[in-house]
């Protein structure tokens, strides 16, 4: 622990919904060196019920009041996407370290301002891109650095659901979310792919998006939604061209007529070997036969826990990797470029 890090760390949570409940509060409750002191939600009764459930002493409806009165060291931002910018800025200005849910923000300009303020304030700003914390992802990143794959020139990332439009929250509302599956689930595989590849410089982005099912159907694996108020894409297919000549394909959907209920995985194809991510499996070809070089039996199911743990340990001064504000900004630029490309029907040059 760094000499200047308070202990226990005082934590406040903004947005008392399901990810705050299942991930953030559950993780903080597991640590004896962290105290949850406050929770805020735009619906006060939601904050109060959350506080009661997690034995948090105070519940608030106003972020500024909460920050002034409870003086937290750490803030978890778990509000809908549209409010990440405002809540992160308020928390950083109040001198807090921030764990902000993905996506970083609604636009690259906002993510840029967030990263600049974090740097100026000397505070940690991490994003909850938890798939990069899976042992599978860590293994592949290590093998990329070891040169196991040679040059990786094709990567295929998929974050697909057959009929998995979220039936809760505001995930189908473009003005509150910024988009559909790309900004909600595709962004996770985009971050994991970029992380394994070492965030290569991007030359050009091209994408096509569709709204064919979400505005007609109304029920799926995550419950019911209102097709009349469905304002986001239900599928998007994008290509990122890197300055090093490599290609990354990203296919993502809330609803698409595929065979599987859900696919969240990435394939990396290099000169010497290839890999799939979940579970990590590295292979090559010997005279037409698949040869396994390295394999994990099952995908790591503790990745969300590891993401939270990395953040707290980083705040405590340990040199552990986080999904930082610089990389969050890059990911936000890619998401924006894909949406812009799909809207304008042309490729977007990024360098
Ligand atoms: N890392 C992940 O895998 C993961 C998983 C789920 C959600 N998320 C992200 O977490 C965020 C929340 O998602 P969720 O599934 O918990 O949604 P949710 O709808 O369950 O919760 C959102 C909460 O925020 C509250 N809220 C709405 N407007 C607010 C405002 N202006 N100020 C404060 N609170 C406000 C709502 O009342 C609700 O309680 C989203 O940004 C989402 O992308 C990330």
The per-residue pLDDT for range 281-314, each reduced to its tens digit, is 999 999 999 999 999 999 999 999 999 999 999 9
What is the 3-class SS of 189-206, one letter each residue? Answer: HHHHHHHHHCCCCEEEEE
- Residue 308 inside a domain? The answer is no
Q: How far is the CA of 176 from the centre of ligand 1 (A)?
A: 11
Structural domain ending residue among the three candidates 84, 108, 127:
127
- Cβ(251)–Cβ(157) below 8 Å: yes
Measuring from atom 38 of ligand 1, which residue has the nearest CA? 17
Structural domain ending residue among the three candidates 76, 94, 127:
127
Query: Cα separation of 56 and 16, whole Å?
Result: 12
Contacts of 139 (CB under 8 A, 6+ apart): 280, 294, 296
pLDDT band at 6 (very low <50, low <70, confident <90, very high): confident
Contacts of 97 (CB under 8 A, 6+ apart): 73, 74, 75, 123, 124, 125, 311, 315
| Tokens encoding 40 | 């805020």
One-character DSSP codes across 250-269:
EEEESB---SSSEEEEEEEE
Do 165 and 246 fall within a single domain? yes
Q: Which of 82, 106, 169 to mutate to test the pocket of ligand 1 (most atoms within 8 A of CB)?
A: 169
Q: Where are the beta strands (DSSP E) in 211-316?
A: 219-220, 223-224, 235-242, 247-253, 262-270, 274-276, 281-286, 289-295
Average pLDDT, the chain: 97
- Residue 145 inside a domain? The answer is yes
| Tokens encoding 43 | 């619906």
Do 195 and 214 fall within a single domain? yes
Number of domains in the chain: 2
Do 123 and 221 fall within a single domain? no
- Residue 24 inside a domain? The answer is yes
Do 227 and 163 fall within a single domain? yes
Q: Which of 19, 26, 164 to mutate to test the pocket of ligand 1 (most atoms within 8 A of CB)?
A: 19
Do 105 and 153 fall within a single domain? no
- Residue 309 inside a domain? The answer is no
The values of phi and psi at residue 29, to 5°, are -65, -20
**Closest approach atom of ligand 1 to CA 170:** 19
Contacts of 118 (CB under 8 A, 6+ apart): 92, 98, 124, 125, 325
Do 149 and 292 fall within a single domain? yes
Do 16 and 85 fall within a single domain? yes
Q: Which of 78, 161, 331 to mutate to test the pocket of ligand 1 (most atoms within 8 A of CB)?
A: 78
- Residue 227 inside a domain? The answer is yes
Which CATH number does the domain housing residue 281 bear?
3.30.360.10
Do 196 and 344 fall within a single domain? yes
The values of phi and psi at residue 23, to 5°, are -110, -60
Q: How far is the CA of 79 from the centre of ligand 1 (A)?
A: 4
Query: Cα separation of 174 and 171, whole Å?
Result: 8
Do 122 and 187 fall within a single domain? no
pLDDT in tens, 35-57: 999 999 999 999 999 999 999 99
DSSP 8-state assignment for residue 22: I
Q: How far is the CA of 43 from the centre of ligand 1 (A)?
A: 12
Q: How far is the CA of 107 from the centre of ligand 1 (A)?
A: 17
Q: How far is the CA of 328 from the centre of ligand 1 (A)?
A: 18
Q: How far is the CA of 325 from the centre of ligand 1 (A)?
A: 19
- Cβ(223)–Cβ(300) below 8 Å: no
Q: How far is the CA of 198 from the centre of ligand 1 (A)?
A: 29
The strand pair at 152-161 and 262-270 is best described as: antiparallel
Do 148 and 268 fall within a single domain? yes
Element (H, E) at 99: strand 97-100
What's the confidence (pLDDT) of residue 2? 53
Helices (H), 122-258: 135-146, 174-177, 181, 187-197
- Residue 317 inside a domain? The answer is no
Higher pLDDT pick, 2 / 163: 163
Which CATH number does the domain housing residue 55 bear?
3.40.50.720
- Residue 315 inside a domain? The answer is no
Element (H, E) at 36: strand 34-40
- Cβ(158)–Cβ(189) below 8 Å: yes
Q: How far is the CA of 173 from the centre of ligand 1 (A)?
A: 13
pLDDT (average), residues 151-171: 96
Range of the domain at 339: 131-301+331-349
Q: Does the pLDDT at position 4 exceed 80?
A: no
What's the confidence (pLDDT) of residue 199? 98
Do 158 and 90 fall within a single domain? no
**Closest approach atom of ligand 1 to CA 83:** 31
**Closest approach atom of ligand 1 to CA 40:** 33
Structural domain ending residue among the three candidates 73, 98, 127:
127
| CA distances for 177 relative to 157, 294, 310, 338, angstroms | 22, 39, 26, 15
Report the DSSP beta bridge partners of residue 265. 158
Ligand 1 pocket (Cβ < 6 Å) reads 14-20, 41-43, 46, 78-81, 83, 101-102, 128, 130, 168-169, 184
What's the confidence (pLDDT) of residue 1? 47
Q: How far is the CA of 8 from the centre of ligand 1 (A)?
A: 26
Do 169 and 280 fall within a single domain? yes
Q: Which of 13, 101, 159, 166 to mutate to test the pocket of ligand 1 (most atoms within 8 A of CB)?
A: 101
- Cβ(10)–Cβ(71) below 8 Å: yes
**Closest approach atom of ligand 1 to CA 176:** 28
- Residue 321 inside a domain? The answer is no
Query: Cα separation of 130 and 27, whole Å?
Result: 13
What's the confidence (pLDDT) of residue 3? 52
Q: How far is the CA of 272 from the centre of ligand 1 (A)?
A: 42
Q: Which of 110, 104, 79 is nearest to 183 (CA)?
A: 104
Judged by average pLDDT, the poorest of 4-13, 73-82, 223-232, 339-348 is: 4-13
């Amino acid at each position: 622990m760094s000499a200047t890090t308070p202990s226990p760390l005082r934590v406040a949570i903004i947005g008392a919904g399901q990810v705050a409940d299942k991930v953030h509060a559950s993780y903080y409750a597991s640590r004896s060196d962290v105290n949850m002191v406050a929770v805020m939600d735009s619906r006060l009764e939601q904050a109060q019920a959350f506080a009661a459930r997690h034995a948090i002493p105070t519940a608030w409806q106003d972020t500024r009041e909460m920050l002034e009165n409870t003086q937290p060291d750490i803030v978890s931002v778990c509000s809908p996407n549209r409010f990440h910018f405002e809540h992160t800025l308020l928390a950083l200005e109040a001198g807090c370290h921030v764990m902000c849910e993905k996506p970083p923000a609604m636009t690259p300009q906002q993510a840029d301002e967030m990263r600049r303020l974090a740097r100026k304030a000397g505070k940690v700003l991490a994003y909850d891109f938890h798939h990069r914390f899976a042992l599978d992802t860590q293994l592949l990143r290590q093998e990329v650095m070891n040169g196991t794959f040679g040059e990786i020139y094709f990567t295929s990332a998929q974050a697909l659901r057959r009929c998995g439009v979220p039936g809760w929250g505001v995930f189908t509302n473009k003005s509150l979310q910024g988009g559909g599956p790309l900004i909600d689930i595709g962004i996770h595989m985009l971050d994991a792919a970029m992380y394994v590849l070492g965030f290569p410089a991007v030359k050009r982005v091209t994408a096509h998006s569709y709204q064919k099912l979400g505005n007609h159907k109304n029920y799926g694996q995550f419950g019911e939604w209102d097709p009349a108020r469905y304002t986001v894409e239900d599928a998007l297919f994008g290509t990122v061209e890197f300055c090093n000549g490599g290609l990354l394909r990203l296919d993502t959907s809330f609803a698409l007529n595929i065979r599987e209920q859900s696919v969240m995985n990435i394939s990396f194809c290099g000169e010497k070997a290839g890999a799939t991510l979940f579970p990590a499996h590295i292979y090559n070809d010997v005279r037409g036969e698949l040869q396994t070089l390295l394999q994990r039996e099952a995908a790591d199911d503790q990745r969300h826990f590891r993401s939270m743990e990395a953040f707290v340990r980083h705040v405590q001064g340990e040199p552990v990797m986080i999904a930082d504000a610089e990389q969050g900004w890059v990911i936000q630029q890619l998401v924006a470029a894909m949406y812009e490309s799909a809207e304008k029907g042309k490729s977007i040059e990024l360098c």
